[in-house]
Structures are given as structure tokens and as C-alpha cells.
Structure 1
């Protein structure tokens, strides 16, 4: 019986030492820099080599037709009252109620979306209206995403407007649309 107890204790000690050894080796492996000598950081469980960043700058924030609508908005809206911001994340404009069921799911959904243009009050950058661009080729997935964005904006009490960059409104049509959204100028 004593021999059996000694074998069990020895097995437990060997297993404990093996686990400590594996943990130390894992720490040593995770703290090593890359083979190129660059610092390595962990972003969302994916290793990134900071010496080999695969990014480049976009040539334009808004493509030509969308930029034309942006400039039209700047011409129409008085600069002392309103400011137009391009490419704003929906999560920067709309928040999820702390008491909401499935709060994390709702938060993740708004993090994935963005508004093409956001009209804000110039004085305090209070969101006034959202403007999204419709594409000529709309797939089912895009339609569902747009529908979700519209419903989220509606629930938050932020009016929205859809414009087609391929056939932009005239200045007078845009003014009428903005007045309909509640903008006063």
C-alpha cells in the first residue's frame, strides 16, 4: 500500500513539474521578437509583426461622385450652423441602452456599420442628420445592412436620407430634402 501511495505522489510531482516547464516554455516563445527582429504585438488573437505592416494610404476618402455631393452639402448648408463629416462610424453616433437585452450583440452590430456623411451642429457637433449613399447594384446583404442602419437611426431619433451619387439631386432638391429632415437654414 505504501508503494502505491509513493507512486501516486511521484506521478503528481512529475506532472506538476512538467506543467511548470511547459508554461515557462510557452512564455518564452510568446515573448520572442520575430525572426526579422521587429516587435510583435497581439491584436485580437492574431500576431502582428510591427516591422512588416501591410498598409497604405487611400488616395481619397470619398470617391468622385460622393465627393461632389459632399461639396454640394457644404455649399447649401451655412458653415456657421452646420458641419458635414464624412465616413463616421454608427457606433460613434448611436449608443445602446445599458438596460438593453443582448446589449453586446447590438453594440457589435453598430460597430460594423458606418454613415457616409453626418450633418452636425457646428457649435457642439451634435448629430443632426445622417446621409447614406445608395449604390446602383444592391445585393440582398447590402439591403439588409442598410435596413438595419435605418432602423437604428430611427430608434435613436436621428433622421436619415439616402442619395444616389450616380444621380445627385439639384441644389434646390437637396435644400427641400434637408428641410424635410428638420434642418433650418
Structure 2
């Protein structure tokens, strides 16, 4: 097998968030788009640099809430008016004030469920395996180090990526096996 197939990419560990952000800027300026960043804390500048899709969860929550609310109202109307109409105390069959609380609860339930599902799909979770778990120093990322992984793109030699990462002066550089 060639080097391009055997390695997922290259990982560089940095001691500070500002060094990581500068490395991301440098790599993006050189045309690299397949970057993964792992940090022990949130860095607002990374959101602007990497531009994650931000509205998918909101749209999923809106769609889930609309489906839950409208579906519940339709189900209540069908059950109370069409399928099994019962006149209680002279009230109309379609008693909308009585339909609102269950529909509201189902709106919240479906919106929350859709948002959680969209978040899991967007984050590619659950992910039981990832190649970065093979790098021994990766455990430091949850404590005090910042990791940048450059995915080996088609036709990209990992030696070229390693040389580029060395120029960024990280604490350590590792090849990430598949």
C-alpha cells in the first residue's frame, strides 16, 4: 500500500489556543480545507475560521416542532370530530381550547427530539472509532493541549503535510494511522 492509503493524516499538538488558531489560518491560506481541531476549551475564533454549519439544528427543531404540533392537532380533530364524535355538555366536537395543551406538549417533544437527532447526525455521533485515538498524546487534548489534524487528501503526500506542520512549530507531530 502507498503512504496515502495507510495514513488518515497528520496531527500537530500545540500548547496554546492562539498557536492553534494561527496554524489553522496558515493552512487555510495554503488551500487546506480538510482540517479537524480538538481543544480542551471553546475558542470563538475557530468558529469563524472553520465556519461550521450553524442553522441545521435550528431548522430541524422547527420542522420537528411543526410536525409534532400540526400532527397532534390533526389527530385530535380526527378522533374528536370524524372518528368518534361525542357531545359532552353541549360543547362542539372540535373543542380547540382543549386541543391546545396536548398539541403544545407534542410540539416541544418533537422539536427537542429533532434537535437532538440533528445534533447527533451533524457531529457524526455516536462514533465508536476515530483514527486519532491511535495517537498516544491525543489524551492530552482533553487537559491542556490543542490538536490540529490535517486529513490526507487524495494525491497529497503525508511527508509534505509533515513538513508543512513542522514549519508551524508545534509541540509534537504524529502521523495518524487509519
Interval containing the TM-score (normalised by the shorter chain):
under 0.3
TM-score by length of 1: 0.22
Work out which of the two has the higher radius of gyration on C-alpha atoms and give 1 or 2. 1
Structure (1/2) with the larger strand percentage? 1
Higher relative contact order (CA 8 A, sep 6+): 2
